[in-house]
Amino acid sequence: MPVQFKTIIEPFRIHSVEPLRMTTSALRQEAIRQAGYNLFSLHAEDVLIDLLTDSGTGAMSRDQWAAIQHGDESYAGSPSWFRFEAAVKELFPFQHIIPTHQGRAAEKILFSVVGGPGKVIPNNTHFDTTRANVEFTGAEALDLVIPEGKDPQAIHPFKGNLDLDALEALLFERIDDVPAVFITVTNNSGGGQPVSLANIRGASGICHRYKVPLFLDACRFAENAWFIHEREAGQGDREIPDIVREMASLTDGMTMSAKKDPFGNIGGWLAVNDNSLAESCRNLLILTEGFPTYGGLAGRDLEAIAQGLREAVHPDYLRYRIRSTAYLGDALDQAGVPVVKPIGGHAVYIDARALLAHIPPLEYPGQSLAVALYEIGGIRSVEIGTVMFGRKPDGSEVPAEMDLVRLAVPRRTYTQSHVDYVIEVVLEVAREAATLPGYRMVSEPPALRHFTATFEPIT
Ligand code: F0G
């Protein structure tokens, strides 16, 4: 028997590097003050380790850069489009693939067609842009994740699962109001938690009995498929692409941000099987994104995504990817920092409501923690809590289900010593947690307030 080594190494070596700019805590305190205590308003050069998002921030491979050289910028019918379409259909064999410049453009188009006042669109947990695009049409965005998915400490192998009883009850009562059902894989706003194949199959059965289309919000499909491979009975011997194809085959369409698992710096698509829905969506696409064979993307982006899709489902990559996120989460957990468990695929979520128990939810414990991580260690994270979700369409403000701070791990970008530094900073901030202030919101826009709201500490 060959020796089994424990260390899971990065399955790549570095080919091109970007310098990081070292900053002092004095500089960072001034920078965040000038940014109105909103981490989205910082200059990225003032950030040392940027864990704001795993979206569009991954490192492209040599083969992606090489593919970019094949980019053909013909307005219509470019060979890059046909390579992109074939790569998408290889994993997601839907009839119609409609390219968009990113995920929310796919959402905007789909919900403009199927949404509207009086409608309700269930999901395990809507991501912020998904919720906003549903609500913008006047429809209701309903979260129906299983109860374990709302408890940061509950251990469940598929905490992203949709509550199938709740789905059935909704369809039974309001069938005429539900134009589509969504499942987000992995469940980003609920901790990056996976959804089982059995759950997707169950949802598919219910939706098809009620003749409602089921959609995947599939940004992190490969990470989800890896969790299925590792955790679901009978799936361990299957190839990842095969699991992905089954996930897709149980549904009627998908929205996609190619800035996540497909390793794009930009890109996305909408896919559907229904011909007339595809036609309505393509008509809107031409209005806002572009001609249906490029949809808001350059030929070179289509090439990078086509190649990235092949790399995303490689088992060596996925084993490293999921393990390196767990490495960060396990270290924080073992040191007593409250984190959402089990550790998700693309990010570690700190339970700020538990860590900063002295700050009430309407004084934004997540924002306070995120500001402290930046001031003390130059780490940029994002609040996923009452700042992001607390403002309701009727104008009221209520605490979100959870107050989390997400440390999102860009793909193939940071090394283990960067992560060891992050662990050290989080532990230092955790030691000082009781001294951190709550925040008051000074200004906020009418929607998606977390991107541009400004704050001040409550002293
Ligand atoms: N759906 C999910 C589950 C997402 O996580 C995102 C983006 C989108 C849709 C929208 O895609 O950004 O390409 O328009 N999530 C990023 C994040 C921004 O940081 O989690 P997009």
Residues of the chain with CATH 3.40.640.10: 62-312
**Nearest atom of ligand 1 to the alpha carbon of 267:** 13
How far does the centroid of ligand 1 lie from the alpha carbon of residue 262, in Å? 13
Give the pLDDT confidence of 96-125 residue by residue, as tens digits.
999 999 999 999 999 999 999 999 999 999
For residues 358 and 366, what is the distance between their CA atoms, to the nearest angstrom? Answer: 12
Residue 8 banded pLDDT, cuts 50, 70, 90: confident
Residue range 440-455: mean pLDDT, rounded: 94
Please say if the pLDDT value at position 448 is more than 90: no
Q: How far is the CA of 435 from the centre of ligand 1 (A)?
A: 33
Q: Over 80: is that where the pLDDT of 179 sits?
A: yes
Give residue 236's pLDDT: 97
Mean pLDDT computed over 79-87: 98
Task: Say if ligand 1 is within 6 A of residue 129 CB.
Answer: yes
What would the pLDDT profile of 139-178 be if each residue is shown by its tens digit? 999 999 999 999 988 999 999 999 999 999 999 999 999 9
- pLDDT at residue 366, rounded to an integer: 98
User: Percentage of the chain with pLDDT > 90?
Assistant: 94
The predicted structure's pLDDT at residue 2: 85
Residue 234 pLDDT > 80: yes
Instruction: Identify the band that residue 4 occupies on the pLDDT scale cut at 50, 70 and 90.
Output: confident
Tell me: cis bond preceding 342? Omega within 30 of 0 counts. Answer: yes
Q: Is residue 138 over pLDDT 90? A: yes
Residue nearest to atom 1 of ligand 1 (CA): 127
Q: Once rounded to an integer, what is the mean pLDDT over residues 245-256?
A: 98
Is the beta carbon of 182 within 6 A of some atom in ligand 1? no
Q: Is 224 in the pocket of ligand 1 (CB under 6 A)?
A: no
CA distance 164 to 251: 15
Whether the CB of 103 sits within 6 Å of ligand 1: yes
Q: Mark residue 37 as left, alpha or beta (left: phi above 0; alpha: psi -120 to 50; beta: remaining).
A: left
Mean per-residue pLDDT, 11-26? 95
Q: Which atom of ligand 1 is nearest to the CA of 54?
A: 19
Domain with CATH 3.90.1150.10 in the chain: 25-54+314-457
Q: Is the CB of 270 under 6 A from ligand 1?
A: no
The secondary structure of 337-389 as a DSSP string is: --B-SS--SSEEEEEHHHHTTTS-GGG-HHHHHHHHHHHHH-EE-EEESHHHH
Q: Which of 54, 127, 270, 448 to mutate to test the pocket of ligand 1 (most atoms within 8 A of CB)?
A: 127
Where does 62-312 sit in CATH, by number? 3.40.640.10
Using CA atoms, how far apart are residues 302 and 361, in angstroms rounded to an integer? Answer: 42
pLDDT in tens, 356-373: 999 999 999 999 999 999
188 CA → ligand 1 middle, Å = 8
432 phi, psi to nearest 5 deg: -95, 10
For residue 432, report the distance from its CA to the centre of ligand 1, in Å. Answer: 32
pLDDT at 77 over 90: yes
- The residue to mutate among 257, 265, 305, 381, having the most atoms of ligand 1 within 8 angstroms of its beta carbon, is 257
Mean pLDDT of all residues in the chain? 97
Q: Is 160 in the pocket of ligand 1 (CB under 6 A)?
A: no
Give 407's strand partners.
348
Interval between CA 129 and ligand 1 midpoint (Å): 7
For residue 420, the surrounding DSSP H or E stretch is helix 416-431
Identify the sign of the CA torsion 343, 347, 348, 349.
negative
pLDDT over 80 at 336, yes or no = yes
Cβ 331 vs Cβ 424: under 8 Å: no
What number does CATH give the domain 25-54+314-457? 3.90.1150.10
Query: What is the reported pLDDT for 302?
Result: 98
Instruction: Give the pTM.
Output: 0.96
> Ligand 1 in contact with 346 (CB < 6 A)?
no
Q: What is the 3-state secondary structure (H, E, C) of 197-250?
A: HHHHHHHHHHHHHHCCCEEEECCCHHHHHHHHHHHCCCCCCCCHHHHHHHHHHC
Q: With cut-offs at 50, 70 and 90, classify the pLDDT of residue 329.
A: very high
For the cut 90, the answer to whether the pLDDT of residue 265 exceeds it is: yes
Average pLDDT over residues 250-262: 98
Biggest CA–CA distance in the chain, Å, is 64
318 by DSSP, 3-state: which?
helix
Q: Is 368 in the pocket of ligand 1 (CB under 6 A)?
A: no
Q: Is the pLDDT assigned to residue 447 strictly greater than 90?
A: no
